[in-house]
Amino acid sequence: MPKSTRALRLPVHLVLLVVLATLIPLMTITSAEAAPPQPNTPKFGKAIEGYSAYEGNTICDPVDRPGAVKLADLIRATYGADESIGIARNACYTTSEHNDGRALDWMVDSTTKAGKAKADAFLSWLLATDENGNKNAMARRLGIMYIIFNRRIWRAYGDTGWGSYSGTNPHTDHIHISLGYDGSTGRTSFWTGKPLGKPCLNGSLTTTAPRVQTDPMRYVSVTPNRLASTESGAGMLNGPCRLFQSSGRRVDVQVAGRGPVPGKGVSAVALNVAMRRPNWTAGLTAGPAGGDIPPVRRISAVQNQISSASMVLPVGADGKVSFFTDFGASDLAVSVVGYYVNPDAPLSLRRKIAADGGDEFDAVRPKRLANLSLRASGDAKVAVAGAAGTDPASSSASLSLTVAPGQGRGSIYAYPAGSNRLRIPVLTYGRGATTVQTSVPVGRDGAVIIANEGSGGRDVAVDIAGAYEPAALNGGHSLALRAAPKTVVDTGSNLQLSNLGEGTIKDFSVGDAVARDADGVLLQVTARRATTAGKLTFWRLGASRPGTTDLSITPGQTVTGTVVVGLGSHRMVRVLNSGAKGVDVRITVLGSFR
């Protein structure tokens, strides 16, 4: 055998070492490539959401919710853009979170090795304990309510963990994930890094039921002042929190003795209130603290949006007012723009009111003051005091602001000229027309500022319905609230009016809901179930029809608003429906001017 050949011979043990050294890296690479990935996990602190409660499907509204869309995008970013994932579906003959856009079906097959491995990798990531000791951390941070896969179900509520699933669909070819209302917002801590607030806590109230002042009250306009915010924790008992819907849940806000409001002698307050980014479509009711929940919707809000309204509320137990939501959870912001003084207020306060003249409301025939074209971040000054028959010394005006239809979303602010902008908008808008009637203090020059903050410019119409002017002048009237709001029209139950068809004018009576000498009425109006957009206009029977808008109606949504209308001796009101088909209207008397 040649020397060269003999030189190539190696001992057997060295040959084996060479082979193993070659194969081990290859085996490691192959194993790593075969292991399914897990989603990228942001860095979190220890604070985390609790487990999602069971919030089952109750409505048919098959729209993909933001949180479900984000979760689907996360899965595709991890496992490939071609992953098949379905969210909303119109199958409302069954009960499923797909029917309201909160459920995902990710088509991953448990009967294949690769599919099972991929599903296990994702589910183990969702339910793992994090470095801070938080169990099921990612499921909680995503707001997941339950998971079904391969004949098993994991529940966040009740007995948390996996159990057997015996439904008709074994879910062997896909993972089903249902999100709670918080998870559906896309605002849980997985996406924002900040856990959503816990329920607000309130101190105990005195046991004496509040007495609503039904005698006429003088009004004092003040520079808008923030009283409470659940987001920042201002005015809250235990810092940042949220208003939750459930038995006994409420947010109490101290109004007497706060900011510009006196501690004694105040019967009611005029507020600007905003529901901020609720986790579901919801309504807000409000009333004096310690009293029954009033059955009158004051604000209607849409998931993740901000909805605002002006309202006059009687002051209840311990100088507080209370707010309740009828669904889900929401943040709340409250600012005061004025207050009403008791006829039997302390002498010092009555002397102050007498010295200042006090304010009484003077209703005028509704009139258009301005048509504004506001830029995306623009504002305009509108002269108010002295316009449309109001007195130049008026301290505050009742204005209707109507945003024309357009693209994008935004907010409208109204505040006295010469003062800082109030942080709560008086109106928030989407693509459709939106109207709000609000009380706005005027500046020293008798003007207000109307400002837009949105994704684009919008046209805004400004109408006036009346003003608060010094009581020494003739023609003014004081507000008298009802002890309890009274509904006088409900087309859904044929109360006084059976319908308010598109293009029709109807008359209704406020009857004994107001005093015989009432010169005006304060109404809360709710419109729902319309199939087309439209508007409602109210005016005193016997007067000419105004060219103004009191409430804009959006198809498929519940819309609420406060309306001030003049009255004659017959105590009749006329209403026009322009454009809204199939709308149900409910009208409630809150008080009257006399």
Helix and strand counts by DSSP (H, E) for the chain: 8, 31
- The architecture in CATH of the region 477-594 reads Sandwich (2.60)
pLDDT tens per residue across all 594 residues of the chain = 344 434 444 454 443 434 444 444 444 444 445 689 999 999 999 999 999 999 998 888 899 999 999 999 999 999 999 999 999 988 787 889 999 999 999 999 999 999 999 999 999 999 999 999 999 999 999 999 999 999 999 999 987 789 999 988 999 999 999 999 999 999 999 999 999 999 999 999 998 888 888 888 888 888 889 999 999 999 999 899 999 998 779 999 999 999 999 998 899 999 999 999 999 999 999 999 998 888 899 999 999 999 999 999 999 999 999 999 999 999 999 999 999 988 777 777 767 665 555 678 888 889 999 999 999 999 999 999 999 999 898 999 999 999 999 999 999 999 999 988 877 888 889 999 999 999 899 998 999 999 999 999 999 999 999 898 886 544 567 889 999 999 999 999 999 999 999 999 999 999 999 988 898 999 999 999 999 999 999 999 999 999 899 999 999 899 999 999 989 888 999 999 999 999 999 999 999 998
Question: What residues are paired with 584 via a beta bridge?
Answer: 528
Is residue 478 within 8 A of residue 594, CB to CB? The reply is yes
Task: Please give the Cα distance from 346 to 362 (Å, whole number).
Answer: 26
Q: Which structure tokens are listed for 434?
A: 């939106």
For 374, phi then psi, to 5°, come to: -100, 135
| CATH of 360-476 given 1.10.3470, 3.20.20, 2.60.120, 2.60.40 | 2.60.120
pTM for the complete prediction?
Answer: 0.87
- Report the candidate in 458, 300, 432, 318 with the shortest Cα–Cα distance to residue 376: 458
In the chain, CATH 2.60.120 covers: 209-356, 360-476, 477-594
Span between the terminal Cα atoms of the chain, in Å: 126
State the Cα angle at 554 between 285 and 337, rounded to 5°. 45
Cα→Cα distances 125→48, 75, 128, 138, Å: 16, 12, 5, 7
CATH topology of domain 209-356: Jelly Rolls (2.60.120)
246-258 b/e (C-beta count within 10 Å ≥ 16 → b): eeebbbbbbbbeb
Could you write out the DSSP letters of every residue in 431-479? SS-EEEEEEEE--TTSEEEEEEEESS-EEEEEEEEEEEEETTSTT-B-E
